Amino acid sequence: MDRGVKRGMKDDGCYREAVFHQSFLMLDERNFIRPFTCALILLVAVFGLACAPSVERRSIPPEVESTISSVGDNIAAERYEKIYNEASELWRQDATLEQSVSTFKTLRAKLGTFENRVLQSATEQQNSGGPLKGRAFIVTYRTRFQNGEGMETFTLIERDRQWLLARYFVNSTALK
């Protein structure tokens, strides 16, 4: 006997509709698994996005801003050795003092002096491994130099509650 008829429904052409409503409202094992699986996947996706390892920011913590300002002041005053000595171990592993000084001098010769910078992005990361292990900030500015414009990227890492320069990158057509 059909479920629709069994529950007192007449087989007068409404049988299909009654069975549809009945199966839609009933949650047996087959019908429960699909919604439960979809809900679980959606929940995992939402938490996965909420716990992302890097966070895009439009503001910078004062300590990070202070370090960038100090590095900028040292570049402007051509204190390249001081930048090298105060940088992180990652900076010193990537380049010698002579290479760092030479690079800063080349930037100065081609771009001229710094005029102003506008924050483009600031990304905070918490890394469990790799060269930027620990807490890091990657800050990018649109910068105006005396001889052109470019993008400056400062990568800072936190060591013993101090922010240290790990990388400095300038991209500009004036460098060609």
* pLDDT digit string (tens) for the chain, length 176 residues: 455 444 544 555 544 444 444 444 444 555 555 665 545 455 444 444 444 444 555 679 999 999 999 999 999 999 999 999 999 999 999 999 999 999 999 999 999 999 999 999 999 999 999 888 999 999 999 999 999 999 999 999 999 999 999 999 999 999 98
End-to-end CA separation in angstroms for the chain:
84
Question: Where do the domains of the chain lie?
Answer: 3-50, 55-175
Element (H, E) at 160: none
Beta carbons of 168 and 71 less than 8 angstroms apart: yes
**What is the 8-class DSSP label of residue 74?**
H
CATH level 3 topology of 55-175? Nuclear Transport Factor 2; Chain: A, (3.10.450)
62-97 per-residue burial string, b: 16 or more CB within 10 A, e: under 16: eebbebbeebbebbeeeebeebbebbbebbeeeeee
Look at residues 98, 76, 97, 99 and name the one whose alpha carbon lies nearest to residue 86: 97
Q: What is the pLDDT of residues 63-108, one digit of tens each?
A: 999 999 999 999 999 999 999 999 999 999 999 999 999 999 999 9
Beta carbons of 87 and 164 less than 8 angstroms apart: yes
